[in-house]
Amino acid sequence: MKREINSAGFAPVKIILLVSSLGWMPTLLLANQPFITDDPEPTDYQHWKADFFTAGDAAGSTYNLTGPAVEVDYGVLPNTQISLNLGMAATTGGGNATAAGLGDTGVSVKYRFVQESNGWPQLAFFPGVTLPTGDANRNLGNGRATYHLPLWAQKSFGAWTVDAGGGVFLNSAPDAKNYPYGGLLFQRAWSEQLSLGGELVAQGSDANGDHGYAALNFGGSYFFNEHFCLQASAGHSVIGDEHLLWYLGVHWEW
């Protein structure tokens, strides 16, 4: 993660995570750790980023866990990032037996086609596919490939960074539905070590009998040095179906 000191002496935090890290769960997709709203900033050309994390979603009487999991990003071309996400999954409640094992695997490409300027935000397209490597019969995977097609924007204002955007999630699994999703995230760098933020995220109905939801989520990152940081967030739905969300991970780049 590249940190640049702005005129106010703060370092904006941009942390990139593959959108499909919770792709098998009936919830919004994690991105831009530790937040759900993604950003358009790709990994620098010929550089790597890795995120080691766990994340959870308590959806009514069902509890879903992703982790331990890893997300790896590589700047394959200028303004272009490829990403791979894989890890373990677990689920319990909802009248189903507790299960744990390999989860679904995500692959995506982020392409930034507009650079940020005084008048324009930076923009990127971040399409991806989640492959059904988890056992759907044990509720550890979706059972079929899913696809996400989002557009993300970012604009910085001194110590503040604003990300916004969204897209559509395509899921052909039995009883599943395609749905729109989006988010608005505000982050502030309080020092070179600490950044805090909050977001409003929402998604449409993703299954028969589901109503969709909107949630508030808050979190931050603490940098031990320019290459390594600790990240955490937690949030809860405020409209629609009940979801309690959390994320904990470490980020490393080189």
Task: Kindly indicate the confidence band of residue 94, based on its pLDDT and cuts at 50, 70 and 90.
Answer: confident
Is 171 among the domain residues?
yes
Burial class (CB in 10 A: 0-12, 13-18, 19+), 95: exposed
Cα-Cα end-to-end distance for the chain: 8
Percent over 90 (pLDDT), the chain: 80
Q: What are phi and psi of 252, to 5 degrees?
A: -135, 135
Domain at 155, CATH number: 2.40.128.130
Is 3 among the domain residues?
no
Is 127 among the domain residues?
yes
Q: What is the pLDDT of residue 229?
A: 97
Q: What is the pLDDT of residue 71?
A: 95
Query: 122 vs 76, 157, 223, CA distance in Å?
Result: 19, 13, 24
Residue 19, SS3?
helix
Q: In this structure, are strands 128-131 and 105-114 parallel, antiparallel, or unpaired?
A: antiparallel
Is 154 among the domain residues?
yes
State both tokens at 61.
């009487």
Task: Kindly indicate the confidence band of residue 205, based on its pLDDT and cuts at 50, 70 and 90.
Answer: very high
Is 5 among the domain residues?
no
Is 8 among the domain residues?
no
**Which residues are paired to 229 by β-bridges?**
223, 251
Full domain range(s) for residue 118: 19-253
Domain count, the chain: 1
Is 9 among the domain residues?
no
Is 248 among the domain residues?
yes
Task: Kindly indicate the confidence band of residue 96, based on its pLDDT and cuts at 50, 70 and 90.
Answer: confident
State both tokens at 59.
């959806």
Task: Kindly indicate the confidence band of residue 95, based on its pLDDT and cuts at 50, 70 and 90.
Answer: confident
Lowest mean pLDDT segment, chosen from 15-24, 54-63, 148-157: 15-24
Q: How far apart are CA 5 and CA 180, in angstroms?
A: 35
pLDDT digits (tens, 9 = 90+) for 157-182: 999 999 999 999 999 999 899 999 99
pTM of the full predicted structure? Answer: 0.85
